[in-house]
Amino acid sequence: MSVATKDIRNVVLLGHSGSGKTTFAETMLFESGAIKRRGSVENKNTMSDYTSIEQERGNSIFSTLMHVKWRKNKINIIDTPGFDDFIGEVVSSLKVADTALITLNASSGVEVGTEIIWEYVDKFHAPAIFVVNQMDHDKADYESTVEQAIERFGNKVVAVQYPYNSGSEFNSIIDALRMVMYVFPEDGGKPEKQPIPESEKEKAAEMHNALVEAAAENEEGLMEKYFDEGTLDESDLAKGLTIALANQQIFPVFCASGKRNMGSGRIMGFINDIAPSPADRPPALLSNGEHLECNASGDTSIFVYKTLSEPQVGKVTYFKVYSGTLSSGDDLINQANSDHERINQIYVAEGKVRTPVDALQAGDIGVTVKLKSAHSNNTLNTKGIERTIDEIHFPSPRIRTAVSPPSKSDMEKLMKALHQIEEEDPTLIVEQSAQLKQTILHGQGQLHLDIVKYRIERVNGISMQFEEPKIPYRETITREANTHYRHKKQSGGAGQFGEVHMRIEPYFEDMPPPAGLNVRKTDIEELPWGGVLAFYWCIVGGSIDAKYINAIKKGIMQKMEEGPLTGSYCQNIRVCIFDGKMHPVDSNDMAFMLASSAAFKTAFKDAGPQLLEPIYDLDILCSSSVMGDVMGDLQTRRATIQGMDSVGHYQKIMAKVPLAELYKYSSTLRSISQGRAKFSRTLSGFQSVPYDIQESLIRAHSALEEV
C-alpha cells in the first residue's frame, strides 16, 4: 500500500567527509527496525556504501536511497558523499529532498566541505537540521562546534540539545525542547528518561525559552499566546517549530553518536513530528516559470534525478513522484524526447536491496529499472500532460585531463564506457577536442577522475592512461598588414589560377571603416570557438568575380581553424579583400580558396601575431593557517591575486591564473591543506602569453610540423 503524501519525509544526509553520515544512516535503519544488525564502514557491510569501490576505499562515492518507517510516517533517507569531488550526488539529492540533515564532526567543527554544501542548501531553500555527531570522540567539543555553526550560518542556528558528558564517557543528552535528560545504555539504543540535574536546569531553561521564542515568532496567534502566558504548550511549540523549520527560520542542532547508537531515535522523532512533508514544501518550479503542487490527486509526473548502470540489471532509474500516483504498469511519456516509457515495476530501496511496491504517491521517492531512454533531469508525464520540472543545475567542472587507451583498437570501447559514466554523472564532461586532437575529461577534482579511471579499468576491463591536456590557445594580431598571393597551377588541361590582395588588422567593435578602401559587402561572423571574423569585400571594377566570395572566405576560415603560429584557433581579425586577378578558364573556387588561405597566412605573420591563453578566475576557500602556503603556490603559477576576504572562519583567495598552470592543482591544494581547502574556477577570458613562452610554443609547433 502506498504512503500518503502528508506521511512522507524526504531527508538528505549531508556533511564533510568523515563526519559519520553513513554510520549515522546505518544507526537510523537499525533503530527503526528496518535492519536487524548494524553494519560498519570498517567491516564493509553497511546498507549505504554497498558498491565494491566504496567498500574498497572506505568512503561514500554515490548517493544511496534508503527508507525507514517511524511511527505513522515513512522517512526516505538519501546518504551522500562528503568529498566535494562528488558534489553532483549532493545537488541531485537536494533536488528531491525536503529536509537537509547536516552532520558535523564534534572534534573538527564546521569544516570547509560543510561550507560548500551549505551554499547548495541555501540555494534550494531547504529546511536544515544539524547533528553534532561523534560525541564519543576524545576531542569532541560540542560548544565550539555550535559556536562555529552560528558564526557561519547565522543566529537561526539554535541548539535543541547538548551533551551532559562527552568523549569516551558520552552517554547522556539533555533535551531542552522536552526538558528531559536521555541516558543511554552502554551499547546504545533506547534511552531512559531522567530529570535534568539541578546543575543544568538553568542552562536548559534558557535554551528552552530560545526555542519557544523561535517557535512563536512565525505565527501571530502563537506570539500573542506567548506574550499572554509567557510560554507555549507542547502542541503549540510543535506547531511553531514546524512553521519555522519549513520557512528556514530555525536550524535546530542535535547531538549524537552514530557509532554508539545514541541520539538517532530522538532525531527521527523530530523529523517525524516537525520536518515538512512534500505537501508542506513550496510547489515545484517548472521550466516555463509555472509551479506544480505536490498532490496525489493530480496528473502523474515523475522526475528522474539519478541513473546507474548495474551488472545483470542494466539501467536503474531513481525518481521522485512530483504529482499524482504512480502505479506499476503505468505508461508515461518522456517530455524531453516524446518517448513512451512503461513502468513495469516500482521499488522502494534500502541501498542495493529493492522491494517491489504497487504504487507511490506524490512526494515519494522510488526506483525502477530498464527504462528505454530516460536520463537524469527528464520529466515523465501521463499521456496528454506536457510539463517539465525545472532541471538540476550542476556545478561546472574544475579540472581537466586528457585520456588515451593503450591501443587505437580500444578507443571505441573506451569512448562507449566513458559516455555511459557521463550519462550517470552529469558533473563529468567527455570532450573529443578537434582543436587539441585529444579526448579531454572535465571533472570536479582529481579524486573524481581517479574514480572514473577505476571504474573504466575494473568494470569495463579497459586500460586507460591520463596525460597532460593541451591548452586551447587562441591566435590574433596586433597591427595591420597587407599582402597578396597568386595561386597558379598548370598540369595539362584546365589549370588553377587565383590571385588575392588582402589587408588584415585587429578587429574591435565600432572600429572605423578600412582607410582607402571602398567596402561593397560586410560579413561580421561570430566564430564557433569565440571571437569574430569581420570579412569585407572591397573589390571595385570586377577584378575578381563576386561568385568567388564564399570560396575566398572559406580559405580564410580554414587557416583560422588551424592558426599560423601554433595551429590554434584565430579570432578577432578583420580581413579586407581589395584586389586580385582571375582567369576566364583556369579560375575556380579551389584556386581562390587556396590563394586566400596562403595570403592570410603570410599577412598574419607580418601583423604582429599574438598568442592568447585562457585565464581562469580561481576562488579558493582555506583556513588562515595554510593561507601563506596557498598564496606561495599561486605565485609559482603566474597567478594575479585579485583580493582576499573572510567567509565564516575561512579565508577566501581570489586570483586569476592561466589554465596552463592549473594542471593537477586539485591534488596540490589538497596536499597543501591536508584536504581542508576547496576551490572553484570559471573562465575569465584570454590574455597575451608572455613573449618567452610564446616563442617556445611556436618553436615546438614548428618542430612538430617538420616531423
Measured CA to CA, the distance from residue 394 to residue 421 in angstroms comes to 16
Question: Which carries the bigger pLDDT value, residue 138 or residue 493?
Answer: 138
Write down the architecture of domain 5-280 according to CATH.
3-Layer(aba) Sandwich (3.40)
Cα 589 from chain centroid (whole Å): 48
Q: Which three cell numbers stand for residue 600?
A: 592570410
Average pLDDT over every residue of 55-72 = 93
Q: Tell me which of 294-298, 478-482, 585-589 is least confident.
A: 585-589
The per-residue pLDDT for range 71-93, each reduced to its tens digit, is 999 999 999 999 889 999 999 99
Residue 493 reports pLDDT greater than 70: no
Secondary structure, 3-state, 268-307? HHHHHHHCCCHHHCCCEEECCCCEECCCCCCCCEEEEEEE
Grouping H, G, I as helix, E, B as strand and the rest as coil, residue 679 is strand
Residues 6+ apart with CB under 8 A from 691: none
Residue 277's pLDDT band (cuts 50, 70, 90): very high
The CATH number, out of the four listed (2.40.30.10, 1.10.10.10, 1.20.1050.10, 3.30.70.120), of the domain defined by the range 284-382: 2.40.30.10
Residue ranges, comma separated, of all CATH 3.30.70.240 domains in the chain are 611-693
According to CATH, what is the number of the domain 403-470? 3.30.70.870
pLDDT over 70 for what percent of the chain?
98
State the burial class of residue 410 (Cβ atoms within 10 Å of its Cβ: 0-12, 13-18, 19+). Answer: middle
- Determine the pLDDT at residue 1: 60
Residue 219 reports pLDDT greater than 80: no
Q: 211-235 as b/e, with b when 16 or more CB fall inside 10 Å?
A: bbebbbbbbeebbebbeeeeebeee
Per 3-state DSSP, the chain is made up of helix, strand and coil in percentages (nearest 5) of 30, 30, 35
Contact 257, 170 (CB under 8 A): yes
Contact 269, 37 (CB under 8 A): no
Residue 226 reports pLDDT greater than 70: no
Residue ranges, comma separated, of all CATH 3.40.50.300 domains in the chain are 5-280
Average pLDDT over every residue of 151-172 = 94
Secondary structure, 3-state, 524-582? EEECCCCCEEEEEECCCCCCCCHHHHHHHHHHHHHHHHCCCCCCCEECCEEEEEEEEEC
Question: Which carries the bigger pLDDT value, residue 200 or residue 489?
Answer: 200
Measured CA to CA, the distance from residue 36 to residue 30 in angstroms comes to 6
Residue 556 reports pLDDT greater than 60: yes
Grouping H, G, I as helix, E, B as strand and the rest as coil, residue 238 is helix
| Grid-cell match 579511471, residue found | 453
Residue 495's pLDDT band (cuts 50, 70, 90): confident
The per-residue pLDDT for range 370-394, each reduced to its tens digit, is 999 999 999 999 999 999 999 999 9
Q: Average per-residue pLDDT in the chain? A: 93
Average pLDDT over every residue of 245-273 = 95
Average pLDDT over every residue of 520-525 = 94
Nearest partner of 502 among 608, 603, 609, 581, judged by Cα:
603
Residue ranges, comma separated, of all CATH 2.40.30.10 domains in the chain are 284-382
Contact 79, 21 (CB under 8 A): yes
DSSP type of residue 660: G
Q: To 10 degrees, the CA torsion angle through 185, 251, 3, 298?
A: 180
- Determine the pLDDT at residue 57: 87
Helix (H) or strand (E) holding 424: helix 411-424
pTM of the model: 0.89
- Determine the pLDDT at residue 215: 82
- Determine the pLDDT at residue 513: 93
Residue ranges, comma separated, of all CATH 3.30.230.10 domains in the chain are 475-607
- Determine the pLDDT at residue 236: 79
Secondary structure E strands in 94-209: 99-105, 128-133, 157-159, 161-163, 172-175, 180-183, 192-194
Nearest partner of 171 among 184, 187, 153, 154, judged by Cα:
184
Residue ranges, comma separated, of all CATH 3.30.70.870 domains in the chain are 403-470
Q: Rounded to a whole number, what is the distance in angstroms from the first to the last CA of the chain?
A: 72
Measured CA to CA, the distance from residue 466 to residue 700 in angstroms comes to 22
Average pLDDT over every residue of 251-255 = 97
Grouping H, G, I as helix, E, B as strand and the rest as coil, residue 436 is coil
AA letter at 519: V
Grouping H, G, I as helix, E, B as strand and the rest as coil, residue 325 is strand
Report the phi/psi class of residue 142: left, alpha or beta, with left for phi > 0 and alpha for psi in -120 to 50. Answer: alpha
- Determine the pLDDT at residue 460: 85
pLDDT over 90 for what percent of the chain?
81
Contact 451, 113 (CB under 8 A): no
DSSP type of residue 109: B
**Fold of the 475-607 domain:** Ribosomal Protein S5; domain 2 (3.30.230)
Residue 541 reports pLDDT greater than 60: yes
Contact 73, 7 (CB under 8 A): yes
Residue 232 reports pLDDT greater than 80: no
According to CATH, what is the number of the domain 611-693? 3.30.70.240
The per-residue pLDDT for range 631-647, each reduced to its tens digit, is 999 999 999 999 999 87
The per-residue pLDDT for range 602-639, each reduced to its tens digit, is 999 999 999 999 999 999 998 888 999 999 999 999 99
Grouping H, G, I as helix, E, B as strand and the rest as coil, residue 355 is strand
- Determine the pLDDT at residue 488: 92
Residue 214's pLDDT band (cuts 50, 70, 90): confident
Residue 707 reports pLDDT greater than 60: no
Residue 704 reports pLDDT greater than 90: no
Residue 361 reports pLDDT greater than 90: yes
Measured CA to CA, the distance from residue 355 to residue 349 in angstroms comes to 6
AA letter at 417: A
Q: To 10 degrees, the CA torsion angle through 32, 36, 41, 45?
A: -130
